[in-house]
Amino acid sequence: MDDGLPSTSGLLRYPKMYNSFLFLGLLAYLTKSGAHVLQNIQQDTKASCELTASLGDDAPQFLAAAASCETVTIPAGTTLNIETRLDMTGMSNLNIDLQGTIRFNPNIDYWSENGFPITFQDQITFWLLGGENIVLSGGGTLDGAGQAWYDAFASNSSLLRPIILTLNQATNAFVENIQMINSPEWFNLVNECQNVTFNNITITARSTSDNFISNTDGWDIYRSDSVTIENSVINNGDDCVSFKPNSTNILVSNLDCTGSHGISVGSLGQFSGVFDIVQNVTAINIQMSDAENGARIKAFAGDNVGSGMVQNITFQNFVVSDVDNPVVIDQCYETSADDCEEFPSNVFIQDIFFNNISGTGSGSQVASLDCSPDGRCSDITVSGFDLSGPDGKTTYECQNVDLSGNAASLFGTCTTT
């Protein structure tokens, strides 16, 4: 090659001027982040950079590569050690080809001070990834190194623990063929995004001590529209998928959830002065095992809380196994019965379909639909239930819901308070 650079470097294969310019730009950028950075990046073309692990913190070279390269490859066998937070917002056409592992070093003092704050429910995160046309795929692993966090949380219940991955203001993002292990807290937050798909994700949280994997939600969706989560296997210790305020047009399909708190709408209506919307959600073909809940909608009641609307939600083709509460509407979430009566929920729930839910509960009560009075739940349709408790005893419970057809005979008449 006649581009003034050693042809053996394998670096530049595009026309000379273009590449030299690009290379100098990259060099100038990278030298700012430290000399060790450059030698760890192999740039094949404009579009492609390959990272190798450094001896220290790999966050600077990962950030530099994401800012300069269209494809950033972390090869199989490579583990990037991330010691400082990753701000990858405002990206454009970024393809992260994660074949190896990204591991978040569990320096609890550092992260609890420096994790990116997430205002909603007072959270922090290791990694903000956002912008337009983002792909994260490659068959590799995100490792939250959660054990140190599970143990630290056991003796400090106010410890802020990071979410592994926050898709933040992302439009057209695609996350596929990734394993995520041992998040300190939630695995995925989808925050203020539009058109995001997760496909073939394996989520596993496991503690090797007696300390529980608390709050390890699989996905939480917040202020986001058009989100798909499909073909994934989740083993965790809190919600499998949770639709937080302002989740719209969501498809969740073909998930196998074990040990979770279920597929949950909410909790909603928590914060005074805030109006929460969850609309157009379909959760279909879900296997739910050893879980606290199956299909659930939860909203706050009481004095000085928020308001909202849950509309057009379908839970279909659920197979449950050893689930405590396979079907739940709770419009009195974390509120005392007296407060619920005096201050019924201001979150209105309508057009809800529970369709074809089968399997076994862990207790005799397999479904409970507890609504606030005065039409706060309307058009709740229940069909195709084939649920049973252990020992053949099966009960259904409801309040303030009008049910028709076969469901009416299962649930009996719902008392109205």
- Specify whether 36 is catalytic: no
The sign of the dihedral angle between the CA atoms of 60, 64, 66, 67 is positive
Nearer to ligand NAG, 158 or 208 (CB): 158
Compute and round to an integer the Cα radius of gyration of the chain: 24
Among 20, 33, 81, 285, binds ligand NAG (CB under 6 A): 285
- Catalytic-role residue among 261, 296, 298, 376: 261
Q: Burial of 81 by CB count in 10 Å (0-12 exposed, 13-18 middle, 19+ buried)? A: middle
Structure tokens at 299: 């909203």
User: Nearest Cα to 412, choosing from 354, 351, 367, 345?
Assistant: 367
The answer to whether 178 touches 204, Cβ cutoff 8 Å, is: no
Counting contacts by CB under 6 A, is residue 200 touching ligand NAG?
yes
Give the tokens for residue 134. 């983002």
d(CA 46, CA 32): 19
Q: Does 112 bind ligand NAG (CB under 6 A)?
A: yes
Contact indicator for 32, 42 with CB cutoff of 8 Å: no
Any contact of residue 274 with ligand NAG (CB under 6 A)?
Answer: yes
- For position 372 contacting ligand NAG by CB under 6 A, the verdict is no
Among residues 42, 81, 121, 312, the one that binds ligand NAG under rule CB under 6 A: 312
Stretch that binds ligand NAG, among 43-51, 212-220, 271-279, 359-367 (CB under 6 A): 271-279
Binds ligand NAG by CB under 6 A, chosen from 52, 84, 177, 383? 177
**Measured between alpha carbons, how far is residue 263 from residues 70, 93, 151, 294 in Å?**
35, 32, 27, 6
Interface residue with ligand NAG, options 26, 281, 401, 407 (CB under 6 A)? 281
Q: Which is nearer to ligand NAG, 121 or 312 (CB)?
A: 312
CB of 72 to ligand NAG, least distance (A): 17
Binding site for ligand NAG (CB under 6 A): 112, 139, 156, 158-160, 172, 174, 177-179, 195, 197, 200, 202, 223, 245-246, 248-249, 274-277, 279-282, 285, 312, 317, 319, 356
Q: What residues act catalytically?
A: 261
